[in-house]
Amino acid sequence: MANGAPEKTHTESQVYLSTRGGDYDLSFETVVLKGLAADGGLFLPHQIPAAENWRNWKDLSYAELAFEILSLYISRSEIPADDLKAIIDRSYSTFRSEEVAPLVHLKDNLYLLELFHGPSYSFKDCALQFLGNLFEYFLVRKNQGKQGKDRHHLTVVGATSGDTGSAAIYGLKGKQDVSVFILHPKGRISPIQEAQMTTCQDANVHNLAIGGTFDDCQDIVKALFSDPDANETLQLGAVNSINFSRILAQIVYYFHSYFSLAKKSSSFQVGDKVRFVTPTGNFGNILAGYFAKQMGLPVAKLVVATNENDILHRFWMTGRYEKSSAQDENGSKAENCKETMSPAMDILVSSNFERLMWFLARDFAATVGMDEEFNRKQAGQEVSAWYKALKTTGGFGPVHDEILENGRKAFESERVSDAETVETIKKWYKSTKYVLDPHSAVGVTASERSIARAGPQTHHISLSTAHPAKFSGVVTQALGEEPGFNFEEQVLPDEFKALLTQERRVTLVDNSWEKVREVVKSQVEEDLKAESS
């Protein structure tokens, strides 16, 4: 088996392929350090493992559960058990909640999964604390006994719509042999999100403000990974959810919240089905739920909750994936990504959707009755054709009816407007005094609609992806006139208050991947000189 993944030491769930067919049999280490496949595709395991003994995990701690799940995807020959346990323990020791991701009861059979108890107050800490420690583990091993230019220096490049950036910085700041470059759309993230990133004073962290949208930032990152010059001079690593380890780490909280629900609700038992509702932009968070479902977790439906940038919702309605028609309130088409109150979801092209489309294409190919090699090859060709059409024409589809119907067995979707987001924040504060951030409000709005469809007896877990303090403008707009509400006293953590007065480090760069490449190359040279001295 190629690329450092000997067959006898790896299961089919511990070796990886590209969604576009150009790579197979890759090791987990290769996938983590490369991030994006050479053919432009995303990495996936050859198959999703069946968690046959998942019921036995019901009383495990979060870290213990993470070890069981991650072990199905990572060969002991790559990361021995004790090392993996140590990486996991370090990753979740930084969280403010002992449960890591506590489940909160909202009303009746609706529960909220709080994923914002990590260092950056965002769900992305659940994956990026782990990824930061993975990078460190692999680099320490690669560089053992090496000096100077012989050392492997990783250049991590990521795009952020707000939360990935700060979570990546908190996961990687100060780590040896790593330079971190985070691209954010200038003026399109919240003041707190910007402060969390740009006040970091660690020498290996570099913030680049790009004149454009998140999609522009993401396109620049993908262009860098596809550029031979950048790959020759820089050892590029990815922190966006294109890096499969991000998806892998997020599977854990679907299982953990399911077991928490069984403990908290007298009407829910292990074995019962639950609906998960996930506010999503880049499709990584809800894709982790799909993996959990395919592994055996009893998930009735995964509900995609989008804002007015609704490419995912439109796909589930029509079978066509088209980036040019986010709609305004009057139903007219907007050609660009619309700025909304939930900026982390202001995305036209959801990168991780490609991973789901590969699985759906493979399932469709399997109906022919050929072997798995044929199915994978067909899936790679189909995905390549779809994404070539997306790049050249702005969309693809409608996909075959069987592909769409197969996807609809697992997924439903909802689109939530800004006005509805504000109303939901108001409604739940008035009835429960709980303060939702705008992304979580999108999820709760979608949950209420899902409950109306499925019935009040159906248990729902709605994912809360960020702390409300990160979105002071929206929360204050929604609740500013509520009697007794005080944002600073009720919502704002002390460490956020301190951030706003600290010195900033940020570089403004034109919306050009070539210019970003030159900035990155120049800065990495300086970082290497500083390390060697």
The catalytic site residues sit at 124
Which candidate, 441, 440, 437, places its Cα nearest to that of 487?
A: 437
Q: Which of 168, 171, 213 is nearest to 189 (CA)?
A: 213
What phi and psi, each to the nearest 5 degrees, are found at residue 464?
Answer: -100, 115
Question: Taking each helix axis from N to C terminus, what angle separates 244-264 and 284-295, rounded to the nearest 10 degrees?
Answer: 60
DSSP H stretches of helix in 163-227: 163-172, 191-198, 214-226
DSSP string, 414-425: EE--HHHHHHHH
User: Distance between CA atoms of 290 and 147, rounded to whole angstroms?
Assistant: 43
Q: Which two tokens stand for residue 210?
A: 């790009």
Contacts of 296 (CB under 8 A, 6+ apart): 50, 51, 52, 54
Neighbours of 157 (CB within 10 A): 28
Burial of 68 (0-12, 13-18, 19+ CB in 10 A): middle
Strands 103-107 and 110-114, bridge-based pairing: antiparallel
Q: What is the DSSP string of 354-381?
A: HHHHHHHHHHHHHTT---HHHHHHHHHH
Q: In angstroms, rounded to a whole number, what is the distance separating the alpha carbons of residues 305 and 312?
A: 9
- The residue among 523, 516, 502, 519 whose CA lies nearest residue 194 is 502
At CB < 8 A and 24+ separation, what contacts does 446-452 make? 446/277, 446/279, 446/303, 446/304, 446/305, 446/414, 446/416, 447/110, 447/277, 447/303, 447/305, 448/110, 448/424, 449/414, 450/275, 450/277, 450/301, 450/303, 450/412, 450/414, 451/109, 451/110
Output the CA torsion sign for 237, 180, 182, 129.
Answer: positive
Q: State residue 16 phi and psi, 5-degree precision.
A: -130, 155
- Check residue 114 and give left, alpha or beta (phi > 0: left; psi -120 to 50: alpha): beta
Residue 285: count other Cβ atoms within 10 Å of its Cβ.
27
State both tokens at 405. Answer: 């119907």
User: Alpha-carbon distance 413 to 317, whole Å?
Assistant: 8
414: β partners: 305
Distance between CA 181 and CA 204 in Å, rounded?
Answer: 9
